[in-house]
Chain A
Amino acid sequence: MRPDFRLLILLVVAALLAGCATKPVQPWERGRLAKWDMRWDPDPMQAAADDHAHFSKEGTSGAIGAAGGGCGCN
């Protein structure tokens, strides 16, 4: 292998590795993460209702953890 080609591979590998480097979020930097808008479900009531409708309608396909079927009215 030619030396300049080896250097190129080395540079590419270094760049790829650098892409994996992260700066961990420090405990005091979590202000934005603590915001209500950053939750998976900004509205827990709405999320529970959506889940209920989902497993009622899609009972046979599963994946929410409850089997069933129907309108999701109860």
Chain B
Amino acid sequence: MLFAHGFGCDQNMWRYITPAFEKDYRLILFDYVGAGKSDITSYNPERYSTLQGYAQDVLDICETLNLKDIIFVGHSVSSMIGLLAAIEKPQLFKSMIMVGPSPCYINEDGYSGGFEKSDIEGLLETMDKNYIGWANFLAPQIMKNDDRPELGQELTESFCSTDPKIANQFARATFFSDNRNDLSKLQTPALILQCSDDLIAPLAVGDYLHEKLPQSTLNVMKAKGHCPHMSEPEETIKLIQEYLPETA
């Protein structure tokens, strides 16, 4: 199982999900370049100006580790990154688990993605403000954790840290992406985990995906928000297990 984190975080976000699968599967977790503990010097603004460069990261990982029969678990934008990778190398992928996916975030000619361009500009502005020196909370954390000292060691390491410039470009690549025309090309079966009240991937988007993805199963979760793997890990695990024939 290959777990790909979404925009705004790093591989740590899977920590409530992975223990349920580590017995039955080989688990691969990674940080995209610019997130988590990745090597920032490998960042190439050209490569990562579109989701295609991120999809290449996924394929590079598959090739380097010689992965086969991959169950790809992608959160948010990583669902589409996984889609691009699986369209290019269908022979590597067995199934796709898409957590809160959306093929296009901006409303456009009859399609309702949930956002206007100005909303995304507003997000970029909010991110900018939180990245100014004194509020650099997404930079590597060196903070004490007074009430839970056992977590201290971990928290001195990078946590959900993202380089501000890279985060800005990732936000642009994410929210201005449009993969609607790629959906019909997917040959791999896909599970869409749709949250019941998700601002970033609304119900209508889940229905749209289900209609356009050839072999898809849509599951509307009880979980609300955009991060069911963090807010409702048990439900998320149960639905993934029910979908995978090995654990069903």
Chains A and B belong together in one complex:
no
